[in-house]
Amino acid sequence: MANGAEISQQGVPVDKATDDQKVLDTRWKTLDIFREYTYQNTVTLQMSSTNINTNYLTIFAHNLGYIPAHDYVINSYSVSDPSALVSSLPVYADTQNIYLLPHITSFVASPTLTVNITGRVYTLDITTYFQAPTVNAISTNNPTTSEFGAEFINPNLASPNISTDPIGEFNFSTKLKPLNILQCGTIATVSGGLIISYNYPVNPIYLLAQYLPNGFTTAKGINITTPLVGSLGFQGGRGSITSNTITVNGVQTAFSGSFAYILLKDPIGLAQ
């Protein structure tokens, strides 16, 4: 490379390391954690008999200025009136905020929703196309035992100790392989499916998130007109893979809409 930095994993000379043996290459992106959060709240939903999805809740403002990749888990939820059926509790991000959009399928006057969610937001601008260069394709370099290496512990720990803390407390180590991004961006479905083309000798792990380029609006209440991206880990399809494309189709119904995606430059050999 002209300028920048690359560091190989322990036991592999950097000038011979293949892409999957790098622990750092400044030409690539990684899934850096911007914020981990817990959202625990009880709110009164303002519902309308003619349009029952009238609510959205701002979980927090991330203010990143781009739509970040994110994921979350619903740990628990309850509604004061059980007849207000909750069909889904999706979380979306736009360029400024993380939102919860409760989808309620039956009208009940002013029910309260109690919800507990944990989530993680990454500093990855998922909707801007990125493709990491393939520098040195997969080979059969075998790492050897080495006394050399480097480690940086998480400085935010209460009492960081580089000598005794477990490897999970380190932000960087030549014994740790980050999940490098091979490619990310958005893609629209065509004829009930989507096709992601890539250029890498390993069939990558792919992550999908729903992408709403026009935001989410309803006749009453919700009026988010900025593009939104849902949580990573969308599992609504079946795929097939070749050496340079991933095709995902619906399981029982046609896939439609748009998706944001991440392909990982993952370190494992060909899966075919």
Partner 1 sequence: MSYGMNFAADGGDAKNSPTYTTTQNRLQIDLNNPAPLFDLITIPAGTNFSVDLTQVQSDTEQLYVVNHALGYKPQVYLVFLLVPANPTSSGAVSSGTYTIGQMLLNQGGGGQDAITYSVNSQTLTINHTVSSNGSGGGSYTSPANQYLIQVKYLICNNPSIQTVTLN
Residue with tokens 């080495």: 146
Pick the binder of partner 1 from 48, 172, 215, 221 (CB under 8 A). 172
Does the footprint of partner 1 cover residue 208 (CB under 8 A)? yes
Does the footprint of partner 1 cover residue 235 (CB under 8 A)? yes
SS3 186: strand
**Residue 207 CB, nearest approach to partner 1 (Å):** 7
CA distance 88 to 204: 29
Does the footprint of partner 1 cover residue 267 (CB under 8 A)? yes
Taking the least distance from each CB to partner 1, the nearer of 161 and 252 is 252
Does the footprint of partner 1 cover residue 89 (CB under 8 A)? no
Pick the binder of partner 1 from 33, 85, 109, 188 (CB under 8 A). 33
CA distance 97 to 75: 21
Amino acid at 175: K
Pick the binder of partner 1 from 155, 158, 159, 164 (CB under 8 A). 155
Phi, psi (5° rounding) for residue 20? -75, -5
The site that binds partner 1 (CB under 8 A) totals a number of residues, namely 63
Taking the least distance from each CB to partner 1, the nearer of 29 and 113 is 29
Residue with tokens 């795929």: 239
Q: In this structure, which long-range contacts are made by residues 15-19, counting pairs with CB atoms below 8 Å and at least 24 apart in sequence?
A: 16/141, 17/136, 17/141, 18/136, 18/137, 18/138, 18/139, 18/141, 19/134, 19/135, 19/136, 19/137, 19/138, 19/180, 19/265
Q: Which span sits near partner 1 by CB under 8 A: 4-12, 128-136, 193-201, 222-230?
A: 4-12
Half-sphere exposure (Cβ direction) of 105: Cα atoms closer than 13 Å: 6
Pick the binder of partner 1 from 48, 54, 95, 177 (CB under 8 A). 177
Q: Whose CA is closest to 31, among 117, 118, 120? A: 120
Token pair in block for residue 129: 């196309």
Phi, psi (5° rounding) for residue 73? -135, 135
Does the footprint of partner 1 cover residue 239 (CB under 8 A)? yes
- Scanning residues 211 to 230, which ones bind partner 1 (CB under 8 A)? none
Does the footprint of partner 1 cover residue 65 (CB under 8 A)? no
* DSSP character at residue 61: E
Does the footprint of partner 1 cover residue 30 (CB under 8 A)? yes
Pick the binder of partner 1 from 179, 187, 195, 222 (CB under 8 A). 179
Which residues in this chain contact partner 1 in the complex, by CB under 8 A? 1-5, 9-10, 24, 26-27, 29-33, 35-38, 71-73, 75, 118-120, 123, 143, 152, 154-156, 167-168, 171-172, 175-179, 203, 205-208, 233, 235, 237-241, 246, 251-252, 264, 266-269, 271-272
